[in-house]
Structures are given as structure tokens and as C-alpha cells.
Amino acid sequence: MNFDVNQIRGLFPVLHQEVHGKPLIYFDNAATTQKPKQVLEALTSYYEKDNSNIHRGAHALADRATQYFENTRESVRRFINAKESAEIIFTKGTTESINLVAQTFGRKFIGKGDEIIISTMEHHSNIVPWQMLCEATGAVLKIIPVHENGELDFQEFEKLLTSKTKLLSVVHASNALGTINPVKKMIDAAHAVGAKVLLDGAQSTSHLEIDVVELDCDFMVFSAHKLYGPTGLGVLYGKREILEAMPPFLGGGEMIKEVTFEKTTYNDIPFKFEAGTPNIADVIAFDAAIEFIDSLGKKAIKEHEDELLSYANELTADIKGFQPIGTAKQKVSVLSFNINGMHPFDVGQMLDARGIAVRTGHHCTQPLMKRFGIEGTVRASFAVYNTKSEIEQMAEGIARIAKIKNK
Amino acid sequence: MSSINEIQDEIVSEFEILGDDRESTIFYIMELGGNLEDFPVEEQKEDNIIKGCQSKVWLIADENDGKVHFKADSNTDITKGLISLLIRVLNDRTPEEIIHADLNFINRIGMGSIIGSQRSNGLASMIKQMKLYAIAFQTKLNA
Ligand SMILES: Cc1ncc(COP(=O)(O)O)c(C=O)c1O
């Protein structure tokens, strides 16, 4: 498929509606992306034709559903270039994936006095699970500071790395600022002191080419709903030898080999970590989302989104009172900003009056907001189906709003 | 002084003049915030924050000659505008009047759809807090 925005927009039914009498401009893609027709059709088709429980029944429907389910696992493997599909575990989302690692890998391999490094720009879901682990084990959380432009302080990061470091858990691309972190360099540096690395790919997987073998990360986590796929579904990638060494997370069906009241033996990966009936329909539909992304190609997607971001930067640069937050050199398509003298919530509501959907607030990154001495920001985040004309309308809205307090 | 219902009618007709344009309506609400009396900085404290609002809203009240006087402030302009409307309707009235006030102007304006659900919940919390003040003063006056 050639990159034709109008054609792409045709695939997204939700975009074709009015909000408050104005055409919807959806710029809240970092929160969740819209879903193309193929994904919606895969969902209905599954329930209409194939619904059954997987990995168990010896009948045609169960067979088919199992096959589709496992097809998605293989597609995800290809999508991030993992070595084998057994290294792909389905979860509820990024949040659950991180908690899984904290509760299994963390409980087994991280102890009193050991150190976990995260950064100031982490999403709360990459902070709280580690705080909980530290509380339970006596491990210590270390925080990489952030420069004024929204880039990580690499020198300070290197100073934090010691033989005590057991894990680096860091966001690949920041949801609040858009900053793309130099993760390859960070992974290599962490490995050099013997630490493992978890990459939070919630915001990077929809924009950047991902190769977990080349990156050499030990874990990577992301959510399907930010990748044009369904909600309530996420991925945990882990290297085989690490996943095998980890104890299971939830106990129940699917995850066992044999249960007796004396002793239970656990199933092999990935099933060891997928207790109970999984989110079958959404996993199957996720395959259509990956196919959609592949049909466009990450390179074309990134080019399109980069163009939107630089256009937005250009059109807002001279607006009096416009304060961009996060101006890193390498960014995904996130424009975070404030307007001098105005609360982000008010700005968001006024943009909403123009049919423009943005996010306002702390974006689940309160420590980062504190670092910048602000309560929150307005965040516009762009995706494949957004257009330059939409950016123009947003810039026009921002200019009008900014004028209220910045004459 | 006009009655609670007369003031509500006034507000409704002011909003009717604005028509359907959402943006102008929101700009207008923000401007209304300018009508708020100065709020003492020392009263911008945790105790005076209304629970259940997304933005910060401080509310204080005192009683004079059996009438309740409110002062409020917020860190967002839209919220200031909203609370200025409540104050315009309820200020300097008896606890009895405040407790029994039926604030129908909010629905008549269609405020819920203008400000969205988060802020509507906040608005409900503001009204509740104002009524709680009135109940407290009534109890005191009857003691
Ligand atoms: C960087 C980052 N990490 C983690 C999450 C949590 O993802 P989920 O809510 O899908 O579990 C998000 C989602 O907002 C995110 O942007």
C-alpha cells in the first residue's frame, strides 16, 4: 500500500464524525490509537465464526481459533524480530507486563541492597511496580535525571551503573515529551555491569522499527491498543533463558504441565505465563493491526509523522505565550506544551470545542512534571491518519486561545 | 435583591444570547471568573480545597446577619467562571435559601455538555460544599 493519507483515513470509521458540530481531529494517539476496519472485522469474524476456547478442545473451531491465536504470536515475533515465538507472552497490557517482570524476575533475582535504575521520565506503570518490589525486598530505586530539553542525562546514568545494578527499566520513547532515548547505548552500558534491561515500548513500537535481537534488550513490553489494535492486550517479550529461569506469575489453567495435590509442574514458555483463558478475540484481531502497520511500513509511517511534527513545531513557534515542553533532538510525534498563564485543562477544553481531541494533565508522569516545575501539559500526538490540514487547524486554535492571556 | 430564581433566569438568557458556539461559550465562562472577589492568599490551603474537583478549587464562607457570604478561587480559569456563577446565585442568602435552592440553571444552559463530565462532577462537588457550609451555619444560628 502506498502512503496515501486519504486512503488510510478511509479505513478508520471512527474518524468520520463530528464533535460539537466540528469534524473530529483526533490528536490523542499516544493515549490510544483508533482501530482500522480490518481489526474491527477480525473481532466480529472471530465471534461469528470461530469462537471457542483454545489449546484444549479437539474440535474444528477450537483448532481454528488456536491457529489464529498462535498466528498472532508469530506476527508479533516478526514485528519485533524476536528469535522465537515462545518468547512472546500475551498480557493485559504494558502495565501488566511490567508487573509480571517485577513480581517474577524481580522477586527471584533482585534482593536487599540490589539496585534498579529507572528514569525521571517513566510512566507511573514503570515506577510503581518497582517501588512495590523495593518495598518488599529492600532493593533500592535509582533515578536517571532529565535535561531541560527532555533528554536523559547520559553521564549521570553511567554514574548510576555499578555492580549492584540488577535491572535497568527505561522508556524507549516518552509518552509525555516524545523523547526517543538512546536505548542501544544504554542497554550495552547496563549489560557491561551485568544488569538486565527492560524496555517500555508502549510509545515506540507504533513509530519505530524494533529489533529486539539487535537492541539486545532482555525484556520489551508494549500495548496493542497503542498500535491500532484492541484494548486489554499487551505483550511481554523476554529472552528464552530468562523467561525459563523466572517463576510463574499467576497460577491456574493453561500454565501447568501436571497438577497433583502433592506437586504441580509448570508448562513451558510462553504458556507458563498465560494462566487461564486468554483474551482470544483481541489477540486474533491484533494480527490485523500488525498487518496494517506492515502494509504501510514503519519507515513511511515515521516519515509521515515526522513531517506532521515539524509542521506543528513550525506553525506554533511564533505564537506568543506558547511554551513547548520537551525539545529533544530525537522525538516521536508528540507535541507537549503549555500556554503562558493558562491551565492545560482549560486549553484542552477549548481545543475540544473545536473538535480537537488532545490530552491534558500529567500523563501519568508526575515526577517528570515536577522536574519541569509544572502541573501538567497539553499533549497533541499524531498518527498515520492525521493530516497537515488538521495541524493547521490546531495551530489556529492554539493561537486564538493563547491570545486571551498573551496580548 | 433578586431572588435565586430570578438570577438563574438572567444567567440562562445571557447564555442563550451566546448561541450554540461552544468556543464563545467557554470564553465567556472564563471571563466570568474575573468577577470573583479577591481571595486571600493565606486561605489557599489544603483545608479549603473542595474534594472531587480535578482542578484546585478553594472555597471559604462566613456568616453575617444570618446571610452566608462565599469567597472562592481556582487554579483554572474555566473553573473560576463556574464557581463565580454559583456565587452569583447563592451569595448573601440565608442558609435556608441555600439549602433548598434548586440550581436548575445548570441543566437549562446544558452546562454538562459544555464542560464535560469531569468538570460537571467538580461542579456538583462545589454545590455540595456550598450547601454543607449553609447547613453548618444554620445549625450554628439555631443553636
Ligand atoms: C510510556 C508508557 N508506558 C506505559 C503505559 C501503560 O500502558 P497500558 O495502560 O496500556 O498498560 C503507557 C500508556 O499510557 C505509556 O505511554
CATH (domain of B83): 3.90.1010.10
Number of independent structural domains in chain B: 1
Ligand 1 atom closest to Cα of residue A364: 14
Of A21, A345, A354, the CB nearest to B76: A345
The x, y and z cell numbers of residue A244, run together, are 525459563
Is the ipTM higher than 0.90? The answer is no
The x, y and z cell numbers of residue A182, run together, are 538512546
Distance CA(A96)–CA(A219), nearest Å, equals 13
3-state secondary structure of A217: coil
- At A4 the pLDDT is 95
| Residue from B78, B80, B83, B65 nearest B137 by CA | B65
Interface of B with A in 5-64 (CB under 8 A): 20, 22-23, 25-27, 30, 54-55
If pLDDT is split at 50, 70 and 90, which confidence band does A255 have? confident
DSSP secondary structure letters along A72-137? HHHHHHHHHT-S-GGGEEEES-HHHHHHHHIIIIIHHH--TT-EEEEETT--GGGTHHHHHHHHHH
3-state secondary structure of A4: coil
Determine how many CB atoms are found less than 10 A away from the CB of residue A376: 22
Decide: A99 in ligand 1 pocket, CB within 6 A. Answer: no
What average pLDDT does chain A have?
96
Q: Are B7 and B92 in contact (CB under 8 A)?
A: no
CA A24 to ligand 1 center in whole angstroms: 24
If pLDDT is split at 50, 70 and 90, which confidence band does A264 have? confident
- At A260 the pLDDT is 87
CA A235 to ligand 1 center in whole angstroms: 12
- Chain B residue at shortest CA distance from A376: B55
pLDDT tens digits, one per residue of B70-97: 999 999 999 999 999 999 999 999 999 9
The x, y and z cell numbers of residue B11, run together, are 444567567
- At A3 the pLDDT is 85
CA B116 from centroid of its chain's CA atoms:
17
In order of A260, A267, A268, the CA distances from A257 in angstroms are: 10, 5, 8
Residue whose entry in the numeric block shows the C-alpha cell 458556539: B21
Share of chain A above pLDDT 90, in %: 93
CA of A239 vs chain B CAs: smallest distance (Å) = 42
Interacting residues of A179 by C-beta distance below 8 A, sequence separation 6+: A121, A150, A151, A152, A173, A326, A328, A330, A331
Q: Residues of A180-209 as b/e, b for ≥16 C-beta within 10 angstroms? A: bbebeebbebbbebebbbbbbbbbbbbbbe
- At B1 the pLDDT is 82
3-state secondary structure of A216: coil
Residue whose entry in the numeric block shows the C-alpha cell 516545575: A373
CA of A22 vs chain B CAs: smallest distance (Å) = 10
Q: Kindly report which listed range (A9-13, A257-261, B62-66, B132-136) carries the lowest average pLDDT score.
A: A257-261
In order of A86, A291, B96, B124, the CA distances from A278 in angstroms are: 16, 21, 57, 40
In chain B, which residues have their Cβ closer than 8 Å to the Cβ of A400? 23
Q: Kindly state the DSSP code that residue A248 receives in the 8-state scheme.
A: P
Distance CA(A400)–CA(A398), nearest Å, equals 5
If pLDDT is split at 50, 70 and 90, which confidence band does A2 have? low
Distance CA(A200)–CA(A235), nearest Å, equals 11
- At A262 the pLDDT is 87
| Dihedral of the alpha carbons of A217, A221, A225, A227, in degrees to the nearest 10 | 0
Its domain, for residue B68, covers 4-142
Contact A349 B54 (CB under 8 A): no
H-helix or E-strand spanning residue B112: helix B111-142
Distance CA(B80)–CA(A382), nearest Å, equals 32
In chain A, which residues have their Cβ closer than 8 Å to the Cβ of B75? 343, 375
Contact A354 B30 (CB under 8 A): no
pLDDT tens digits, one per residue of A198-226: 999 999 999 999 999 999 999 999 999 99
Handedness of CA B113, A382, A206, A147 (dihedral sign): negative
pLDDT tens digits, one per residue of A341-366: 999 999 999 999 999 999 999 999 99
Q: Kindly report which listed range (A125-129, A132-136, B19-23) carries the lowest average pLDDT score.
A: B19-23
H-helix or E-strand spanning residue A266: strand A264-266
Whether the predicted pLDDT of A1 surpasses 70:
no
Domain A5-30+297-405 coded CATH 3.90.1150.10 = yes
CA of B22 vs chain A CAs: smallest distance (Å) = 5
Whether the predicted pLDDT of B135 surpasses 80:
yes
Q: Which CATH architecture has domain A40-294?
A: 3-Layer(aba) Sandwich (3.40)
Fill in the amino acid letter for A334.
V
Q: Which residues pair with A220 in a beta bridge?
A: A199, A237
- At A22 the pLDDT is 95
Distance CA(A135)–CA(A140), nearest Å, equals 9
pLDDT tens digits, one per residue of A22-70: 999 999 999 999 999 999 999 999 999 999 999 877 899 999 999 999 9
Average pLDDT rounded to a whole number, residues A326-331: 98
* Residue ranges of domains in chain A: 5-30+297-405, 40-294
| Bridge-based pairing state of the strands A356-357 and A334-339 | unpaired
pLDDT tens digits, one per residue of B20-67: 888 999 999 999 999 999 999 999 999 999 977 678 999 999 999 999
Decide: A100 in ligand 1 pocket, CB within 6 A. Answer: no
Q: Are A357 and A28 in contact (CB under 8 A)?
A: yes
Q: Are A122 and A96 in contact (CB under 8 A)?
A: no
If pLDDT is split at 50, 70 and 90, which confidence band does B118 have? confident
| Residue from A286, A310, A298 nearest A384 by CA | A298
Handedness of CA B4, B5, B8, B13 (dihedral sign): negative
Q: Kindly report which listed range (A273-277, A395-399, B21-25, B73-77) carries the lowest average pLDDT score.
A: B21-25
In chain B, which residues have their Cβ closer than 8 Å to the Cβ of A353? 22-23, 25-26
Q: Kindly state the DSSP code that residue A342 receives in the 8-state scheme.
A: S
Distance CA(A141)–CA(B106), nearest Å, equals 49
In order of A157, A307, A403, the CA distances from A154 in angstroms are: 5, 28, 38
Distance CA(A246)–CA(A101), nearest Å, equals 9
Determine how many CB atoms are found less than 10 A away from the CB of residue B127: 18
